[in-house]
Amino acid sequence: MQTRSAALCRWPLWLVYAFAVGVTVATLLVRLGLMESFGENQSLILFMIPISLSAYVGGLGPGLVSTLMAALCMDYFLIPPIYSFRIEKLVHVAEFVVLIGVGAFVSVLNEFLHRSRWQLRRAKDELEQRVEERTAELEIANKEMEAFSYSVSHDLKAPVRAIEGFSRMLMHKYSATLESEPLRMLNTIYSNTRRMSQLIDDLLTFSRMRRKKVKKAEINFYAMTTRAFEQLRHQTPERDIQLSIGELPPAIGDPSLIEQVMVNLLANAIKFTSSRKTAVIEVGGRIESKETIYYVKDNGAGFDEQYAHNLYGVFQRLHSYDDYEGSGVGLSIVKSIIERHGGRVWAEGKVDQGATFYFTLPKNGD
């Protein structure tokens, strides 16, 4: 009899049944060799060992084979009259029936457990296969989308730059002869093409960052923050910008990607503090149980927290372009990079009272 449990056992089928026979015979030999050490009523308990082992290894079939062999061996070798299959005493009949009943129950129970494990294993395998298929489909879709966005953005750069360049040339060459309205139109064309060019550049950067492989190493956040701030401060030398660096625990991550995170967050803080006479930016971090939290805080324009969920969306802006230039991609890049490292991002702020942008990195880069 080949049960599903026996078929699913890692042992060959013949070996499962051979094990059931062998362990039962071995138990009989042990019982016969220690005849004087066992009482009559202990044979039943002793033979439950091979039955349980056989049922555990192979399920119903091997368990029943061991049960039948144990019953016949006990009847023939141990129950008076010995070397006969006759049973004279009622107590021995009861012992014989109990052995068969309990053995059958143990075999059925183990078969049920084997089937349950098999069904769980099959469901797990099917689920893993589905996940792998969906993951593969999602990866293909993401790659196609990234390739499409990169291709479109790259192909748009040439005509946009041509419009920008020719409009700038027209303004410089004919600014003295053109009337105010055509000059205003040209200036509008030029400023909007510059903005579109910036959007395309940011979209290309966003696409490139998503494709870049993460190569983790130890990061010196203090040196990285100082270097990023110095680069950005040189772009606005006329402004009074103060940087306060608190505790910055080291972390494991891709140094170039995380540096892009710090550049974007510091640039964001510098931009939104442009209305302040003295811009104050604070950078710090702290270690918690499973992650390290970093933050960039400023005393700038802030934002309404009910719209905080829009901050990290691509091309999402909470302030008008006329007030603060930008494409709305910088924070999206931050979110993408941090999530690829297994971290998370969020922000806190109040209108005209500054903002604080947080991100986390897993401890030890796990």
The domain ranges of the chain are 1-211, 217-365
Angle, helix 42-58 to helix 13-33, in steps of 10 degrees? 170
Task: Please give the Cα distance from 215 to 208 (Å, whole number).
Answer: 15
Poorest-pLDDT segment among 85-94, 140-149, 230-239, 303-312: 140-149
In angstroms, rounded to a whole number, what is the distance separating the alpha carbons of residues 337 and 210?
A: 7
Residue 166 in tokens = 């020719």
In the prediction, which pLDDT does 36 show?
57
Regarding predicted confidence, which is higher, 14 or 155? 14
Q: Looking up tokens 């979209």, which residue turns up?
A: 203
Task: Sheet containing 278-287: give its strands across.
Answer: 240-245, 278-287, 291-298, 355-362, 345-349
Contact residues for 40 (Cβ-Cβ < 8 A; gap 6+): 78
Judged against a pLDDT cut of 80, whether residue 277 lies above it is answered with yes
What HEC string does 109-122 produce?
HHHHHHHHHHHHHH
Type of residue numbered 39: G
Q: Which of 302, 342, 30 is nearest to 216 (CA)?
A: 342
The pLDDT tens digits for 69-120 are: 888 888 788 878 888 778 778 887 888 888 888 888 888 888 888 888 888 8
Residue 283 confidence (pLDDT): 95
Third-level CATH fold of 217-365? Heat Shock Protein 90 (3.30.565)
Does this model's pTM top 0.75? My answer is no
Percent of the chain with pLDDT over 70: 88
Per-residue pLDDT at 157: 74
Question: Residue 358 carries which DSSP code?
Answer: E
Q: Are 283 and 246 in contact (CB under 8 A)?
A: yes
- The total of other beta-carbon atoms located within 10 Å of residue 300's CB is 24
In the block, tokens 């910008």 appear at 241
Structure tokens belonging to residue 327: 């494409």
Task: Check residues 248 and 153 and name the one with the higher pLDDT.
Answer: 248
> 3 pLDDT exceeds 60?
no
Q: Is the predicted pLDDT of residue 201 greater than 80, yes or no? A: no
Who wins on pLDDT, 223 or 1? 223
Distance (Å, rounded) from C-alpha 244 to C-alpha 53? 70
Q: Which of the 8 DSSP states describes residue 356?
A: E
* pLDDT for residue 145: 72
Distance of CA 207 to the CA centre of its chain: 21
Tokens at 89, concatenated? 């005493």
How high does pLDDT run on average in the chain? 82
Residue 106 · residue 55 · CB < 8 Å: yes
- Identify the pLDDT of residue 119: 87
How large is the angle between the packed helices 330-340 and 180-211, nearest 10 degrees? 0
Looking up tokens 């931050």 gives 334
In angstroms, the CA 171 to CA 180 distance is 11
> In which region does residue 292 sit, left (phi positive, over 0), alpha (psi from -120 to 50) or beta (all else)?
beta
Q: Which carries the bigger pLDDT value, residue 326 or residue 340?
A: 340
Q: Is the pLDDT of residue 323 over 60?
A: no
Task: Give percent of the chain with pLDDT exceeding 90.
Answer: 19
Give the residues across from 287 on adjacent strands.
292
Per-residue tokens: 60: 């119903």
CB contact set of 233 (below 8 Å; sequence gap of 6+): 241, 270
Whether 135 shows a pLDDT value over 90: the answer reads no
* Average pLDDT for 176-200: 80
Q: Which residue has the tokens 């499962």?
A: 16
**pLDDT of 324 higher than 80:** no
Residue 156's nearest CA partner among 107, 191, 193 is: 193
Higher pLDDT, 250 or 87: 250
